[in-house]
């Protein structure tokens, strides 16, 4: 099983690794990937992971929303390039989970571009109140 090192230096299993191509349009005036695009890469990786889960991870009464994000930019990503976004769970709560992430070079995972985490909360869109995490999600994280 692949592991990642989160900000507390503990090894945790990688839930999913998304391969992402750096696009020309991702670049800013300094000819490297714009800092806001890192969030897009992370979002894409989370969506890919959720779509690969067996079973339902959302319905009309439970949808994920981002409650917080923390990104540590370690080095610029340049074009052309390929990156891997590694996702891992650092905390599993009743209605939320903290998803740790690392963006690394696709050919050299020791070349770290970004690390950090996001907090995802499942909520009922009709009430705006948090709801318990779907069992499918819990099963994927603890297996």
Ordered domains of the chain (ranges, CATH): 3-142 (3.10.129.10)
Q: What percent of the chain has pLDDT over 90?
A: 90
Close Cβ partners of 99 (under 8 Å, ≥ 6 residues apart): 15, 46, 87, 88, 89, 90, 117, 118, 119, 120
Do 88 and 13 contact (CB within 8 A), yes or no? Answer: yes
55's tokens? 């079973």
The pLDDT tens digits for 56-68 are: 999 999 999 999 9
Q: What global pTM score does this model have?
A: 0.89
pLDDT band at 6 (very low <50, low <70, confident <90, very high): very low
The pLDDT tens digits for 102-116 are: 999 999 999 999 999
């Amino acid at each position: 099983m692949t592991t990642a090192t989160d900000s507390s230096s503990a090894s945790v299993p990688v839930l999913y690794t998304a391969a992402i191509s750096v696009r020309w349009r991702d670049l800013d005036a300094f000819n490297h990937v714009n800092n806001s695009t890192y969030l897009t890469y992370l979002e894409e990786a989370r969506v890919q992971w959720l779509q690969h889960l067996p079973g339902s991870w959302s319905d009309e009464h439970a949808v994920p929303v981002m409650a917080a994000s923390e990104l540590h930019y370690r080095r610029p990503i340049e074009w052309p390039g390929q990156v891997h976004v590694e996702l891992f769970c650092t905390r599993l709560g009743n209605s939320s989970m903290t998803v740790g992430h690392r963006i690394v070079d696709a050919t050299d995972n020791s070349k770290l571009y970004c690390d950090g985490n996001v907090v995802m909360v499942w909520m009922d869109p009709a009430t705006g109140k948090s709801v318990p995490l779907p069992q499918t999600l819990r099963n994927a994280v603890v297996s």
